[in-house]
């Protein structure tokens, strides 16, 4: 068996780019709000906390509820 090692050619080296917090923070807040909204609809949209009448939302996310471990029966 032979051992082959990859040695890159000398030249420009890629360096990581620092992202300023003020550019990332609005996107992080937006993603967090979407996550909270998704967790509400999957985990709590039924019964007394229901925003929509009927069982439409519950039936739409029913399999997702069980996949994530939320009981509903």
11-60, pLDDT tens digit by residue? 677 788 888 999 999 999 999 999 999 888 888 777 777 777 877 887 88
Please give the residue that has the higher pLDDT: either 1 or 39: 39
User: How many CB atoms within 10 Å of residue 46?
Assistant: 18
Asked whether residue 32 is assigned to any structural domain, the reply reads: no
Does the pTM exceed 0.75? Answer: no
Collect contacts of 56-63 with beta carbons under 8 A, ≥24 apart: none
The tokens of 62 are what? 């029913």
Domain count along the chain: 1
Residue 6 lies in a domain: no
Domain range for 63 is 45-73
Answer yes or no: is 57 within a domain: yes
> Quick check: is 31 in a domain?
no
């Amino acid at each position: 068996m032979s051992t082959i090692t990859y040695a890159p050619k000398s030249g420009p080296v890629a360096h990581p780019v620092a992202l300023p917090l003020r550019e990332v923070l609005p996107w992080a807040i937006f993603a967090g709000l979407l996550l909270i909204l998704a967790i509400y609809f999957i985990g709590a949209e039924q019964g007394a906390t229901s925003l929509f009448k009927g069982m439409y939302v519950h039936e739409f996310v029913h399999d997702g509820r069980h996949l994530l471990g939320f009981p509903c029966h």
